[in-house]
């Protein structure tokens, strides 16, 4: 795949709010009834490749954004939505790259409804509800990405969930989190397989869940169980009762 340097237009140019709302509502209505695992696997694999490769960039963007928006509503951060698995061509990757800032903003509004940023106009996203026209204008601002992160006043955990709005400290923390998940998963799978512990589920599935719990606990250790439960939900979409976080971590370590 090529390195993407050109800016692919988002949706129609100039942006048409009415058209966006009509298309988005129509496409997203078909995704709402899917359970989370089904939605995450939607538009992936060989069958999806055949269907998606014939679409225009604009149509592909509508579909990918609708999938991301539904996952965001369920608490899964863009960083963990697996959207790249729906990209089968260079044009798809270009379109996905162009979508990243608005995907981030939609999730930030859904996940942090009380967030405030330094730009009063941008706060309208939180005060008045997500507006794609405003999100596109934020992306179009002639500012470096790092400056936008500062103006959005995003914390490190918020940046870690984003695809585009990250600064170096968040990138390092995210890499550490992913490395810890992989490390814990490999170790736990070996341990569970050796002990033949499955509880009716494949050892690799149990290991994957426990690895995320352990990595989340380590990443948020100083911030308490609520932060651990929130990060777990942002990665998996699953609910981890914050009152039982310590018990879940203890069980995962056994």
- Predicted local confidence at residue 3, as pLDDT: 42
| 125 and 212 in a common domain | no
137 in any annotated domain: yes
| 212 and 91 in a common domain | no
Full residue range of the structural domain in which residue 211 is found: 168-253
108 in any annotated domain: yes
| 176 and 137 in a common domain | no
Of 106, 117, 200, the residue nearest 161 (C-alpha): 106
213 in any annotated domain: yes
- Predicted local confidence at residue 4, as pLDDT: 41
Say how many CA atoms lie within 13 Å of 215 toward its Cβ. 28
What mean pLDDT do residues 178-194 have?
83
Res. 214 pLDDT band, cuts 50 70 90? confident
The pLDDT tens digits for 127-181 are 999 999 999 999 988 789 999 999 999 999 999 999 999 999 999 999 999 999 9
- Whole-angstrom distance, CA of residue 78 vs CA of residue 108: 10
**Which residues are CB-contacts of 118 (< 8 A; sequence separation ≥ 6)?**
150, 151, 152, 153
| 156 and 242 in a common domain | no
More confident position, 141 or 86: 86
**In the chain, how many domains are there?**
2
64 in any annotated domain: yes
- Predicted local confidence at residue 12, as pLDDT: 77
What mean pLDDT do residues 63-90 have?
96
More confident position, 104 or 120: 104
Query: Which of residues 127, 160, 193 is at a domain's end?
Result: 160
- Predicted local confidence at residue 251, as pLDDT: 66
Supply the pTM of this predicted model. Answer: 0.89
Structure tokens belonging to residue 141 = 């601002």
Res. 5 pLDDT band, cuts 50 70 90? very low
- Predicted local confidence at residue 244, as pLDDT: 72
9 in any annotated domain: no
What mean pLDDT do residues 38-59 have?
88
6 in any annotated domain: no
183 in any annotated domain: yes
Query: Which of residues 160, 189, 220 is at a domain's end?
Result: 160
Mean pLDDT of the chain: 88
Lowest mean pLDDT among 48-62, 90-104, 236-250: 236-250
| 148 and 29 in a common domain | yes
More confident position, 214 or 178: 178
Query: Which of residues 107, 141, 160 is at a domain's end?
Result: 160
| 128 and 45 in a common domain | yes
86 in any annotated domain: yes
């Amino acid at each position: 795949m090529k390195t993407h340097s050109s800016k692919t237009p988002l949706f129609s140019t100039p942006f048409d709010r009415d058209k966006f709302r009509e298309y988005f509502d129509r496409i997203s209505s078909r995704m709402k009834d899917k359970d989370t695992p089904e939605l995450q696997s939607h538009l992936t694999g060989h069958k999806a490749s055949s269907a998606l490769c014939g679409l225009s960039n604009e149509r592909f963007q509508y579909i990918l954004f609708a999938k991301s928006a539904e996952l965001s509503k369920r608490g899964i951060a863009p960083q963990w939505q697996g959207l790249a698995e729906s990209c089968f061509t260079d044009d798809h990757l270009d379109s996905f790259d162009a979508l990243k800032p608005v995907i981030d903003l939609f999730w930030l509004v859904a996940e942090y409804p009380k967030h405030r940023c330094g730009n009063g106009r941008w706060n309208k996203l939180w005060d008045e509800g997500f507006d794609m026209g405003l999100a596109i204008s934020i992306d179009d601002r002639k500012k470096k990405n790092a400056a936008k992160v500062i103006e959005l006043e995003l914390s490190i955990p918020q940046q870690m969930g984003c695809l585009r709005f990250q600064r170096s400290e968040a990138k390092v923390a995210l890499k550490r989190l992913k490395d810890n998940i992989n490390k814990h998963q490999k170790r736990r799978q070996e341990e569970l397989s050796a002990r033949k512990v499955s509880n009716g589920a494949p050892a690799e599935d149990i290991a994957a869940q426990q690895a995320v719990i352990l990595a989340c606990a380590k990443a948020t250790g100083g911030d308490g169980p609520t932060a651990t439960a929130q990060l777990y939900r942002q990665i998996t979409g699953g609910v981890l009762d914050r009152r039982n976080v310590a018990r879940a971590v203890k069980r995962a370590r056994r």
